[in-house]
């Protein structure tokens, strides 16, 4: 089952690449939908307290102890589902507009989905590292080939910057992963199975340096302050549908890595560096928020708001508290769901104003009340208005953080007020205020509505019952967090 989820996007991507041009969007769309259906079936079938399920375990390279091993549990199931959901509107949005060399575009986009799903599903540390590294490759092409040059920064150089950052992180992680396997084996049988590694445990001295090798890769991917240097240029260059899934899902792989790899395998180090990580999280929250409200470019506002949101998620994970970690996982799902429509809306706004700069914008709501309401819902979810699922996520994160460190939690809570300011500013400057003469305040079309609204409906449903996610995650997350808590005692 997991095999089919994992490889379906790639297969359909290949088909899209090979079939005549006019069939390519259909092939890609079908691929995304089939993946979504499969992921939904798995999600419905998963037993929240059943540990790792739907396990696929095949020996890959026996001598090195590397297995092709997949599985899904409460931690990964909603992220798999999120991935499957996010790609559908992205493909549909591309299909509705068309693009040059579209077969290749769909292939890259869907290859990216397979790699991302692989990272969420992998239960072998090296397989995880492999997928984690592969993930960036299709996006390198997507951003580089279909990206736009801006303000003297070419799409090429923006992507190179991204790759350099990512590669450094990835190489460190590869070294770390190999080291984990070798040290844990301690001369015996080599294995990279994550569960076995967690059981064997590492000496705390080794944990301490390996921790940072992994942390580097994950923090770059999120991105966290101050490792976000690649983000602004890459975000400005990227084609929007690709950016939507990139920002929604790929950034979560970093946070997921902390939950899946770092906490179970390096619990002592996680406990030891807890305060450092909390401060990095706090820095991301404050810096991301402050930058988000100084920027005028819609992509950068959303990009820096992601830095801040990922900061909250990191805060929740490293509170090493069940409420904080569950809140963080809920928030990963929420943020992913919010970011996809947000970036697509940026595209719609750009089509109406010819710009992504909120400076000269305004008044788009005039003839487009439905469009404005959709954007308003997304904005309110972004700023975690109480009543949205994002609020419950943030609330539990702050609860976890406060149980760990009162001062950090209180400073972090100022991020909530800053978010209110930058998110509302983004909404107001586009939808409200006087309408400039050269802007076309046009209602959202039925076609675009069908692309964006379903995901907004999911946001609203989750707002009424965030427990849908929490009841699925609680057992698995608690088990993960418990390891580090034991280490602390």
| Residues 394-423 interacting with another protein (rule: CB under 8 A) | 395-396, 398-399, 402-403, 409-410, 413-414, 416-418, 420-421
- Both ends of the chain: CA-CA distance in Å? 40
What is the gyration radius of the CA atoms in the chain, in angstroms?
A: 21
How far is the CA of 218 from the CAs of 132, 188, 301, 452, in angstroms?
10, 29, 22, 29
Residue appearing with tokens 């070294």: 175
Q: Looking at beta carbons only, is 67 or 93 nearer to another protein?
A: 67
- In a 3-state reduction of DSSP, which class is residue 364? coil
Q: Looking at beta carbons only, is 102 or 133 nearer to another protein?
A: 133
Q: Looking at beta carbons only, is 33 or 290 nearer to another protein?
A: 290
Region at 101 (left for phi over 0; alpha for psi -120 to 50; beta for the rest): left
Would you report the helix, strand and coil content of the chain in percent, each value rounded to 5? 75, 5, 20
How far is the CA of 223 from the CAs of 35, 114, 220, 233, 281, in angstroms?
27, 21, 5, 13, 11
Residues 223-282 that bind another protein (CB under 8 A): 226, 228-230, 232-233
Select from 195, 358, 329, 190 the least CA-distant residue to 259.
Answer: 329
Q: Does 362 bind another protein (CB under 8 A)?
A: yes
- 8 Å CB contact between 331 and 459: no
Least distance (Å) between residue 3 CB and another protein: 5
- In a 3-state reduction of DSSP, which class is residue 58? strand
Select from 362, 348, 349, 355 the least CA-distant residue to 437.
Answer: 362
Q: Looking at beta carbons only, is 435 or 459 nearer to another protein?
A: 435
Least distance (Å) between residue 106 CB and another protein: 14
Q: Which of 34, 428, 453, 458 binds another protein (CB under 8 A)?
A: 428
- In a 3-state reduction of DSSP, which class is residue 297? strand
Contacts with another protein: how many residues (CB under 8 A)? 85
Q: Looking at beta carbons only, is 92 or 233 nearer to another protein?
A: 233
Q: Does 479 bind another protein (CB under 8 A)?
A: no
Select from 427, 424, 426, 407 the least CA-distant residue to 416.
Answer: 424
Q: Which of 275, 276, 294, 445 binds another protein (CB under 8 A)?
A: 294
* Alpha-carbon dihedral angle through residues 73, 78, 83, 85, given to the nearest 10 degrees: 140
Q: Does 204 bind another protein (CB under 8 A)?
A: no
Q: Does 291 bind another protein (CB under 8 A)?
A: yes
Residues 317-346 that bind another protein (CB under 8 A): 321-323, 326-327
User: Containing H/E element for 366?
Assistant: none
Specify the stretch interacting with another protein by CB under 8 A; choose among 19-27, 258-266, 273-281, 424-432. Answer: 424-432
Residues 147-166 that bind another protein (CB under 8 A): 156-157, 160-161, 163-165
Q: Looking at beta carbons only, is 30 or 183 nearer to another protein?
A: 30
- In a 3-state reduction of DSSP, which class is residue 18? helix
Least distance (Å) between residue 194 CB and another protein: 19
What letters, b where the CB count within 10 A reaches 16 and e where it falls short, cover 134-169?
Answer: bbbebbbbbbbbbbeeeeebebeebbbbbbebbeeb
Q: Does 16 bind another protein (CB under 8 A)?
A: no
- 8 Å CB contact between 251 and 79: no
Q: Looking at beta carbons only, is 183 or 212 nearer to another protein?
A: 212
Q: Looking at beta carbons only, is 138 or 257 nearer to another protein?
A: 138
Q: In this structure, what are the phi and psi dihedrals at residue 71, rounded to the nearest 5 degrees? A: -175, 165
Q: Looking at beta carbons only, is 56 or 272 nearer to another protein?
A: 56
Q: Looking at beta carbons only, is 53 or 403 nearer to another protein?
A: 403
Q: Looking at beta carbons only, is 269 or 397 nearer to another protein?
A: 397
Least distance (Å) between residue 326 CB and another protein: 4
Residue appearing with tokens 């592969």: 134
Specify the stretch interacting with another protein by CB under 8 A; choose among 85-93, 238-246, 359-367, 449-457. Answer: 359-367
Residues 112-131 that bind another protein (CB under 8 A): 114-115
Q: Does 354 bind another protein (CB under 8 A)?
A: no
Least distance (Å) between residue 187 CB and another protein: 30
Least distance (Å) between residue 367 CB and another protein: 11
Residues 19-58 that bind another protein (CB under 8 A): 56, 58
Least distance (Å) between residue 277 CB and another protein: 19
Residues 56-115 that bind another protein (CB under 8 A): 56, 58, 68, 111, 114-115
């Amino acid at each position: 089952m997991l095999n089919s989820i994992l490889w379906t996007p790639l297969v359909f991507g290949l088909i899209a690449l090979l079939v005549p041009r006019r069939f390519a969007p259909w092939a890609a769309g079908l691929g995304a939908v089939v993946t979504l259906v499969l992921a939904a079936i798995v999600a419905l079938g998963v037993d929240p307290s059943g540990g790792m399920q739907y396990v696929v375990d095949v020996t890959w390279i026996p001598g090195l102890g590397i297995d092709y091993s997949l599985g899904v549990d409460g931690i990964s199931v909603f992220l798999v589902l999120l991935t499957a959901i996010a790609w559908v509107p992205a493909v549909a949005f591309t299909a509705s507009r068309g693009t040059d060399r579209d077969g290749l575009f769909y292939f890259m986009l869907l290859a990216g989905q397979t790699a991302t799903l692989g990272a969420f599903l992998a239960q072998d540390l090296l397989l995880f590292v492999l997928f984690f590294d592969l993930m960036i490759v299709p996006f390198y092409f997507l951003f580089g080939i279909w990206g736009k040059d801006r303000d003297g920064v070419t799409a090429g150089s923006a992507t190179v910057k991204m790759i350099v950052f990512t590669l450094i992180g990835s190489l460190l992680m590869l070294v770390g992963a190999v080291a984990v396997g070798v040290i844990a084996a301690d001369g015996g049988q080599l294995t990279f199975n994550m569960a076995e590694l967690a059981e064997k445990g590492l000496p705390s001295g080794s944990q301490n340096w390996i921790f940072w090798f992994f942390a580097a890769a994950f923090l770059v991917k999120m991105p966290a302050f101050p490792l976000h240097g690649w983000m602004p240029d890459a975000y400005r260059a990227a084609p929007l549908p690709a950016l939507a899934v990139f920002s929604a899902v790929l950034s979560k792989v970093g946070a997921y890595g902390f939950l899946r790899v770092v906490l179970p395998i390096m619990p002592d180090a996680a406990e030891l560096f807890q305060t450092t990580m909390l401060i990095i999280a706090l820095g991301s929250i404050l810096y991301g928020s402050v930058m988000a409200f100084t920027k005028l470019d819609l992509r950068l506002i959303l990009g820096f708001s992601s830095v801040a949101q990922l900061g909250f998620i990191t805060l929740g994970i490293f509170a090493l508290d069940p409420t904080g970690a569950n809140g963080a996982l809920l928030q990963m799902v929420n943020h992913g769901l919010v970011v996809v429509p947000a970036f697509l809306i940026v595209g719609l706004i750009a089509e109406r104003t010819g710009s992504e700069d909120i400076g000269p914008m305004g008044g788009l709501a005039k003839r487009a009340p439905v469009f404005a309401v959709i954007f308003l819902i997304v904005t309110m979810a972004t700023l975690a208005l109480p009543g949205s699922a994002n609020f419950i996520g943030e609330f539990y994160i702050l609860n976890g953080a406060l149980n760990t460190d009162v001062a950090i939690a209180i400073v972090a809570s100022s991020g909530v007020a800053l978010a209110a300011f930058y998110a509302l500013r983004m909404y107001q400057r586009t939808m409200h205020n006087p309408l400039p003469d050269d802007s076309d305040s046009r209602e959202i079309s039925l076609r675009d509505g069908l692309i964006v609204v379903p995901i907004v409906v999911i946001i609203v449903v989750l707002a009424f019952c965030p427990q849908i996610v929490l009841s699925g995650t609680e057992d698995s997350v608690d088990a993960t967090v418990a390891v580090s808590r034991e280490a602390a005692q």
